[in-house]
Structure 1
């Protein structure tokens, strides 16, 4: 393995530890010498990895202390990143993250794009689950799960109000034997609805138009689409594929 690969591997290793919460904002990273010994490489290579993390805004240097994890409060991760972290570590939340407002509701699908993504007819009834992710108590993301009717047939717990544990897709796979895959995330922007602004605690006049970043992921099993997951980000937040 070349030094160039080692430097990127070291950066990826430390980045993942930060994303998974092993190192929280303000925590000191191991010294370059310790990391060099762990990976069996040179200080020069480790220094390149540390520089990369600093350029990404994940770390900063503090005189007399060393390299510490930066304050990541303006950042929110994607739904796919949350699922990856859950599979990797079993942790539902990033450091300082919680969720509130878990609710379930049936609605007639009035959005032609959502109907097409779910493979249903416009006007068909779908189950919607909504929750609000918070970091340090501040709303960051309104997450919506728009579910094909067969999801609730196999996992009727989806109809319950409040947070579901375990993650419903795991229950679905256990009961049906069907694997669930996901499409690449799609990114776009639109104007936030009044309900979304209220959930994100954005205080603006009723007539104000507030653009928001929206990420969408479609999940499939062997029978077709089963869930559309939309993340609506609070204004002023940067979205990242990790946390």
Structure 2
């Protein structure tokens, strides 16, 4: 049976219910963190000008079965003043969501997920340990705070051999 996939929204829920954004047996490697100029996709997602400084954090989630996902988050650059840890290559005890909420009071209350199958870009392939151009599941997440302002845009490339499953209470 393929291994379960833990998505960004799953991690937010885990953080809020358990105080930890990882499932038992999972670990995270922070690949990079810092301010970068927003490309057109990120600028559009965050509602900023192309080229504006935005925070980018890239991390790889792993478990005993291998790579779960390569996740990149972009956040408005002004959040670096309230939470300079976002610019440091190291784990955040409460993930980006918890840190932003603690420092600014901005709580992620709404999200939109987009899922597609895409060819893995060459620069992402080494992190997923598959060949460039391999079709992979890509999930993009937009998060908004209680004031309707975007707090984070994330793009995840899912590791091979994973199952995306969701359970909902319909009552």
Structure with the higher strand share, 1 or 2:
2
Distance 1:174 1:235, change over 3 A: closer
Unmatched runs of 5 consecutive residues or more in structure 2: none
Q: CA deviation at 1:241?
A: 3.0
Please give the residue correspondences for 1:129-208 in structure 2 after superposition, counting only pairs within 5 Å.
129-136=57-64, 138-202=66-130, 204=131
TM-score by length of 1: 0.62
Distance 1:82 1:175, change over 3 A: closer
Unmatched runs of 5 consecutive residues or more in structure 1: 1-70
Question: In structure 2, what is the equivalent of residue 126 of structure 1?
Answer: 54
TM-score by length of 2: 0.85
Summarize deviations over 1:185-243 as a string: whole Å, max 9, x none. Answer: 211122212221101112x3xxx52111111111123262121012110233222236x
Cα separation, 2, equivalents of 1:234 and 1:137: 10
How many residues are aligned here?
Answer: 166
Runs of 4+ in 1 over 4 A off after TM superposition: none
Structure with the higher helix share, 1 or 2:
1
Summarize deviations over 1:26-57 as a string: whole Å, max 9, x none. Answer: xxxxxxxxxxxxxxxxxxxxxxxxxxxxxxxx
Q: CA deviation at 1:130?
A: 0.8
Secondary structure of 1:240's aligned partner: coil
Indicate the structure whose relative CO is greater, using CA pairs within 8 Å and at least 6 residues apart.
2
Instruction: Tell me the C-alpha RMSD between the 2 structures.
Output: 2.0
Cα separation, 2, equivalents of 1:94 and 1:166: 14
Cα separation, 2, equivalents of 1:168 and 1:138: 23
